[in-house]
């Protein structure tokens, strides 16, 4: 793995004996003690994730809000200072270039958090679209990110900061110190639990990570992160969404404010809403413990292919094998029985209501 990128916390993962894997060109921990134990550490206590591979780009200047509103599907200009939103970064056809979280720091400063594998292409796209209107500042290499997730996340963090965490609602953030480290502390996450994502200077990451572990946080890897987000039906870029999928078929039409504003891809989204979609992203539960991986075919009971799995895993909190799949619209109703074809063998599955797991 010598050619892989590493995060500022790489040495901490090695010292802890984490099993490291190639994740989109990054050497990242997939698990420490075990993915199931780490999954429940987040559901029941507090888990720590190194997400420093994610990208951060800033839009600076008097037109920062207008530029952000042109770039993404959600309404950035309507946010308050210190508020964030989940949004799509779309191409002109309505396909996902990326899904992002946008942070309004103030009227002339907006931060966009990008998926790791997309950061370079995203920043190039952003510069080409709005670089003439605002300063586009790439802070990926200078920034580390630690996600502190779980019902006891606030309790742990409150011992390390004077910021009153109870005053930060979901999808709000504050700027201040955490254990002496200058941080953007956002009540956001990708697990379905309460928690915070800390954006900090890269050189401070190892020291803060050690303090969070010492305070009772459980280091968690990509294995737990995947099962946690899948139980909530949170989309994973490259699996569940891509430039070949649009927000309407992905069940993410709610992040597209095309009734209120124009953004790149808004005309396409309006057309798709009007015409309807031929497929929908749905949740499946499988009988037994076989896992339906990305690309697994889905057939109706007569043997006709009606779609494909995008993500699948055993869900510890649900106690079942679950999956997300794009199915033809007429087969996407809750309760529809289907077959997933694993190694040429049909396995019974059912379309179910999502999310699979109810938040604590």
Check whether 190 has a pLDDT greater than 90: yes
Q: At what angle do helices 119-130 and 64-71 cross, to 10 degrees?
A: 120
- Maximum CA extent, the chain: 62
194: which DSSP letter? Answer: S
Kindly indicate the confidence band of residue 341, based on its pLDDT and cuts at 50, 70 and 90. Answer: very high
Chain centroid offset of residue 43 CA: 17
Q: What is the domain range of residue 218?
A: 10-51+142-231
Q: Same structural domain for residues 34 and 170?
A: yes
pLDDT of amino acid 1: 47
Determine contact, residues 249/326, Cβ cutoff 8 Å: yes
Tell me the backbone φ, ψ of residue 60, rounded to 5 degrees. -125, 140
Domain contains 357: no
Write down which residue in 173, 207, 231 finishes a domain. 231
Write down which residue in 204, 231, 258 finishes a domain. 231
Radius of gyration of the chain, Cα coordinates, nearest whole angstrom: 20
pLDDT of amino acid 3: 86
Average pLDDT, the chain: 97
Q: What is the pLDDT of residues 52-101, one digit of tens each?
A: 999 999 999 999 999 999 999 999 999 999 999 999 999 999 999 999 99
Pairwise CA distance, residues 123 & 114, whole Å:
9
Pairing relationship of beta strands 47-50 and 218-219 according to DSSP bridges:
parallel
Domain contains 314: yes
Give the CATH number of the domain where residue 282 resides: 2.40.30.110
Question: How buried is 144 (Cβ within 10 angstroms: 0-12 exposed, 13-18 middle, 19+ buried)?
Answer: buried
Q: Same structural domain for residues 221 and 289?
A: no
E strands in 150-275: 173-178, 181-186, 195-201, 218-219
Q: Which helix (H) or strand (E) holds 48?
A: strand 47-50
Write down which residue in 196, 216, 231 finishes a domain. 231
Through-space distance between the first and last CA atoms of the chain, rounded to whole angstroms: 38
Determine contact, residues 40/82, Cβ cutoff 8 Å: no
pLDDT of amino acid 282: 98
Q: What is the pLDDT of residues 197-246, one digit of tens each?
A: 999 999 999 999 999 999 999 999 999 999 999 999 999 999 999 999 99
Q: Which residue has the tokens 């749905």?
A: 282
Q: Which residue has the tokens 């997730």?
A: 149
Give the CATH number of the domain where residue 198 resides: 3.30.1360.120
Q: Same structural domain for residues 219 and 284?
A: no
Domain contains 224: yes
Contacting residues for 169 by C-beta, under 8 A, at least 6 apart: 187
| Listed residue (16, 2, 50, 284) closest to 147, CA to CA | 50
Pairwise CA distance, residues 9 & 162, whole Å:
25
Pairwise CA distance, residues 217 & 211, whole Å:
9
Number of domains in the chain: 2
Domain contains 258: no
Q: Sign of dihedral through CA atoms 48, 51, 52, 58?
A: negative
Global confidence as pTM: 0.96
Determine contact, residues 156/148, Cβ cutoff 8 Å: yes
Domain contains 267: no
Q: What is the pLDDT of residues 296-333, one digit of tens each?
A: 999 999 999 999 999 999 999 999 999 999 999 999 99
Domain contains 191: yes
pLDDT of amino acid 216: 98
Q: Same structural domain for residues 325 and 213?
A: no
């Amino acid at each position: 793995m010598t050619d892989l990128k590493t995060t500022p916390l790489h040495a901490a993962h090695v010292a802890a004996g984490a099993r490291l894997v190639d994740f989109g060109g990054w050497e990242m921990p997939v698990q420490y003690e075990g993915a199931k134990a780490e999954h429940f550490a987040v559901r029941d206590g507090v888990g720590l994730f190194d997400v420093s591979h994610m990208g951060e780009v800033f839009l600076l200047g008097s037109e920062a809000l207008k530029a952000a509103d042109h770039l993404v599907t959600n309404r950035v200009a309507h946010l308050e200072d210190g508020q964030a939103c989940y949004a799509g970064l779309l191409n002109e056809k309505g396909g996902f270039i990326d899904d992002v979280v946008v942070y309004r720091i103030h009227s002339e400063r907006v931060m966009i958090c990008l998926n790791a594998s997309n950061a370079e292409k995203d920043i190039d796209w952003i510069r080409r679209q709005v670089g003439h209107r605002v300063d586009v500042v790439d802070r990926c290499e200078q920034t580390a990110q630690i996600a502190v997730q779980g019902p006891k996340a606030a309790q742990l963090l409150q011992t390390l900061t004077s910021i009153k965490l109870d005053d930060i609602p979901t999808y709000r953030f504050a700027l201040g110190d955490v254990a002496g480290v200058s941080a953007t502390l956002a009540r956001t996450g990708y697990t379905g639990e309460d928690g915070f994502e800390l954006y900090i200077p890269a050189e401070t990451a190892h020291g803060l990570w050690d303090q969070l572990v010492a305070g009772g946080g459980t280091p968690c890897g990509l294995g737990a992160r995947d099962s946690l987000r899948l139980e909530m039906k949170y989309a994973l870029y490259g699996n569940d969404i891509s430039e070949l999928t649009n927000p309407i078929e992905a069940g993410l039409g709610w992040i597209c404010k095309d009734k209120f504003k124009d953004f790149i891809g808004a005309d396409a989204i309006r057309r798709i809403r009007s015409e309807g979609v031929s497929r929908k992203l749905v949740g499946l539960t499988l009988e037994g413990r076989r896992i339906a991986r990305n690309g697994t075919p889905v057939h109706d009971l007569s043997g006709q292919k009606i779609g494909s799995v995008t993500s699948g895993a055993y869900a510890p909190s649900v106690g079942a094998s679950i999956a997300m799949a794009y199915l033809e619209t007429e087969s996407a109703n809750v309760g529809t029985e289907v077959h997933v074809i694993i190694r040429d063998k049909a396995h019974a599955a059912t379309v179910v209501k999502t999310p699979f797991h109810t938040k604590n």
